[in-house]
Chain A
């Protein structure tokens, strides 16, 4: 069944994965996201850019309902994942988050061994029937996280003992271990040095083959390097959304142009 759907994806690489329609987000009385509609495609890296506080992270967190953990946050509008409304009453956010993985701004490995960090998701979702299968999942995930070669000899070492860049790749490996369909990344490189950033960016490009990736970034160069689609947010509005090349070379909105040329932000 899984293989079938993969096959379909390979044929039609520009299938819509997530469709957001007229999304409004409120923090108490503050209107943080104003009427945002966006379509995120499968096997594509979509970048959200914009100045600080423009709502791009907030919107990202709506896509896997991480905002549910914030009491005063209220979301209106429709967000459809494969045509199903993820804010439907019948949807369990826990099940949703297994499908829509997330990597956070600050690397946040569990204070457990590298192995346990990656194995945790598969364990709680029952993805492995025995130890051998789990070992395989862990190895594959670490390989996909481009960190296997660095940690294969010390899987028992605590995840927190790794360097910042390694920790972030471990977190990515942890996120892919649960076999998500969408990977959300909230400024994954903001705490990393340029070398680690390059490694993670390379990884993101690789991940595109299997997942739909949404990345929030402060760095316009990064957005230009890794994404195919770019959305520019400003003051809670989605100002412009389109092909990355077009946004950076020929923006339609004067605000986008001001931002990418460094005049606002």
Chain B
């Protein structure tokens, strides 16, 4: 074929004028233009997907950050709360939340009368628009401040999730036709209270700082405690995965002899990075819980499992950044009589540090968003824990983690939890974006040229 073309163009293939593009150049330029369009199209699709995702998450999740509250003046009757009047904390604690219900009922009734609202509802049904957490809130306050018994104090109680849904437009008068937990009359009352300024939708810090709540009280559920669980897990991962990972990679990259054994180790590390995370979960269940008898649902165990999962990522990225340090630096150090370890620690490691840090942060971010292994070690499900009071209890007492909490909410029946799941995703994403930003900034700042 080349022979033929040579015959047909005997002089030069580049004979024509430079001012006129030949057909081959035109074809090549067209191919390039097409390729650019494919690329732009691909990026546009990606950006569109991202925009849709962010829009969805924000519109669905933002509701979780505001909550409907009802302001009431509650008279803390001494006759109900402290019959003997001696302010003995043990005796006050004996009064259960049921003992507080009448106080709230009275306060509610009084408020409605005061505002001149007419309603066919019995006082008990009026107070039912409050969250079931109201009594507990009142009791906690009294136990914390026993000296306030006898006074009348203004409280902000959560409205229950149906009322909150009504305020946010999720619940309508039509949709409650078959709902036994709320009635149209109650919604009328809600409207009137809202008009009077007693019932308001405001920013809800408790969603960010609070603990999970039971199925009946979605309005009281928060991410705070599971955030602490995640934090403790990340501390475990950082404390274990970073030193082990960096030490392993330095040894493998700089000191280990190249032979079949290190080859096998290398291949296996790469394979481990691709192992589904649930496999690490079942390994953690078998080893840490069943064999070593560490407590179930504890952030310590979660952290250990996530360490196993993160190690390959850290080792791979650390080795890559060690490899990217030019060998001339090692030669230079060895040439002036530095030992191998001095060469590595004085020169190679500082140059690789930005890459190592970035890899570690990316690994941590990956671990932070991991749910599957936590399923197996029992960090999902309703874990009714309060914020831990010490580091030891933070590590060992049952807790959840942010992604596990989101999963847990997403699978509960009440649509109010669904909104909270989206809200939780916003928090999780904020954390992940922050971590990745920190990684980028660190890399930019400490990157050195040679």
Task: Show the binding face of A for B, using Cβ within 8 Å.
Answer: 64, 66, 69, 71, 94-95, 97-99, 101-104, 106, 108-111, 120-121, 124-125, 160, 171, 174-175, 177-178
Contacts and interface: CB of A to CB of B under 8 A. Distances in A.
B257 interface: yes
A95 B449 CA distance: 30
A214 B332 CA distance: 17
Contact of B449 (A108, A120, A160, A178): A160
Contact of A111 (B330, B336, B342, B351): B351
A120 B347 CA distance: 10
Contacts, number: 70
Contact of A66 (B257, B331, B342): B331
Contacts of A71: 257-258
B448 interface: yes
Nearest to A122: B336
A125 B338 CA distance: 8
A61 to B, nearest CB: 10
Contacts of A66: 331, 334-335
A174 B342 CA distance: 16
Contacts of B339: 94
Contact of A97 (B257, B328, B334, B347): B334
**A interface: dominant SS:** helix
24 contacts: A64-B335, A66-B331, A69-B330, A71-B258, A94-B338, A94-B339, A94-B340, A98-B336, A101-B335, A101-B337, A102-B331, A104-B328, A106-B328, A108-B328, A108-B331, A109-B332, A111-B329, A111-B351, A111-B448, A120-B338, A160-B449, A174-B336, A175-B335, A178-B337
A111 B449 contact: yes
A177 B331 CA distance: 16
B98 interface: no
Interface in B216-260: 257-258
B346 interface: yes
Nearest to A117: B332
B450 interface: yes
B333 interface: yes
B258 A171 contact: no
Contacts of A98: 336-337
Contacts of A121: 336-338
A240 to B, nearest CB: 29
Nearest to B347: A110
B260 to A, nearest CB: 13
Contacts of A95: 337
Contact of A104 (B257, B258, B332): B332
Contact of B335 (A99, A102, A106, A125): A102
Interface of B: 257-258, 326, 328-340, 342, 346-347, 351, 448-450
A255 B267 CA distance: 49
Contacts of B337: 94-95, 97-99, 101, 121, 124-125, 178
A65 to B, nearest CB: 9
A175 B448 CA distance: 23
Given A98-B337, A102-B335, A175-B336, 17 more contacts: A66-B334, A94-B337, A94-B338, A99-B337, A104-B328, A104-B332, A108-B331, A108-B332, A110-B329, A110-B347, A111-B351, A111-B448, A121-B337, A124-B337, A174-B332, A175-B335, A178-B336
B332 A110 contact: yes
A9 to B, nearest CB: 21
Nearest to B257: A71
Nearest to A103: B335
B335 A110 contact: no
Given A69-B330, A71-B258, A104-B328, A160 B336 contact: no
Contacts of B326: 108
Contacts of B347: 110
A120 to B, nearest CB: 6
A174 B336 CA distance: 7
A69 B331 CA distance: 9
Contacts of B346: 120, 124
A125 B335 CA distance: 13
A125 to B, nearest CB: 6
Contacts of A99: 337
B90 to A, nearest CB: 68
A103 B337 CA distance: 12
Contact of B332 (A69, A94, A171): A171
Contacts of A101: 335-337
Contacts of B351: 111
Contacts of A69: 330-331, 334
A120 B336 contact: yes
Nearest to A123: B346
A97 B450 contact: no
B351 to A, nearest CB: 7
A241 B317 CA distance: 49
Contacts of A160: 449-450
Contacts of A171: 332
Nearest to B351: A111
Contacts of A175: 335-336
A124 B328 contact: no
A97 B336 CA distance: 6
A125 B258 CA distance: 30
A124 B330 CA distance: 15
